[in-house]
Chain A
Amino acid sequence: KNQVEQSPQSLIILEGKNCTLQCNYTVSPFSNLRWYKQDTGRGPVSLTIMTFSENTKSNGRYTATLDADTKQSSLHITASQLSDSASYICVVTGGGYQGGKLIFGQGTELSVKP
């Protein structure tokens, strides 16, 4: 069964600290993996997209890694800011289609405290 599991479910950190969110998937065949940030009351916004051949990708203070062999990905946030408080969703696309069969993780709820 194609699944995407994220951990932890929720995380509280102090402003300025780093944190790492985890994503494990069992989707096969694999096309790409995305991390989305969803602020409360808003739609998800894409942070990074990685295909099978990419191991790491950065977007400002966000760095995503992908290990296609172990089917694991992580999202590292450096020097967290209050505005980083949001839900972070790992999304895996299976098969050859670019965006139809997105399989979503349940998300990690990050709270950054002053």
Chain B
Amino acid sequence: DAGVIQSPRHEVTEMGQEVTLRCKPISGHDYLFWYRQTMMRGLELLIYFNNNVPIDDSGMPEDRFSAKMPNASFSTLKIQPSEPRDSAVYFCASSVTGTGIVTFFGQGTRLTVV
């Protein structure tokens, strides 16, 4: 298995533009997570899904952020409109129930909003 796949790896966009980050979890995993990592705050959970259903989105910073999981193999995190303070590395991760609770992370998307 190729692991959790995220795209793009790097994104530079202008303030006010819409940004869409994509994630393909490991096949068969029923949990998908979106995290944000910054130097100041470390890793923060934004939202997670179980069987494609959003379970907890309390970590989503504000209404500018939205996440969807239309099927078991794809999820998106959208920021509209983007702001410079959204600059961070965004990680997608997945795990599967009952396997010893290992969470696998993708390589991350480094977002820079100028």
- B105 near A102 (CB under 8 angstroms)? no
Interface majority SS (helix, strand, loop, mixed), chain B: strand
Q: How many A-B residue pairs have CB under 8 A?
A: 54
Interface of A is mostly: loop
* B42 contacts A42, C-beta separation under 8 Å: no
Taking the nearest CB of chain A, how far is it from the CB of B29, in angstroms?
10
Inter-chain contact B97/A98, CB cutoff 8 Å = yes
Q: Contact between A42 and B108 (Cβ–Cβ < 8 Å)?
A: yes
CB of A105 within 8 A of CB of B48, answer no
Tell me whether B18 is interfacial, beta carbon within 8 Å: no
Shortest CB-to-CB span from A32 to chain B, Å, is 6
Chain B: residues with CB nearer than 8 A to chain A? 4, 31, 33, 42-45, 48, 55-56, 91, 93, 95, 97, 100-108, 110
